[in-house]
Amino acid sequence: MAGKVSYLSSEWRDEVERRLREELSPEKMKHITTSVTFNYTGCPDGTDKYLHFTCVDGVITDVKVDTGDPPQAEFSITGSYDLFARVTQGIVTSQRALMSGKLRLKGNMVKALKLASLSDRINKIMSRIPTIY
């Protein structure tokens, strides 16, 4: 990858998928099977977007970024583009944003809290991608 990529662009998505598959073994992902959709409101281009992950037995099998109706997911997390950008950069933890009410979760909160360390691991990998926000 040369230079910076725009946050939530197809190039950024491709780099996220590549790095997650390279850096996260099924053991590191605790062989989890789950799916999550992050719903971004108020994106700079005036749209709402989503970032969707599917993980099967600890392997990232799908990463999507798009507009419109997101795929069905075990968890759905909604927040502003600006907040998600700060989470992705590692400025704010997703757990803190959830507990403060700045992110809204649909799904099993107990399971979501158990998966918080995995979410932080994914965000740490994404934070290392040279990105224009």
Q: What is the pLDDT of residues 2-24, one digit of tens each?
A: 689 999 999 999 999 999 999 99
Question: Distance from first CA to last CA of the chain, Å, rounded?
Answer: 17
Domains in the chain, start-ordered, CATH in brackets? 5-124 (3.30.1050.10)
| pTM of the predicted structure, to 2 decimals | 0.91
- Reported as a single tens digit per residue, the pLDDT across 31-63 is 999 999 999 999 999 999 999 999 999 999 999
Going from the C-alpha of 118 to that of each of 2, 47, 49, 56, the distances in angstroms are 28, 28, 22, 14
CA atoms within 13 A on the CB side of 20: 24
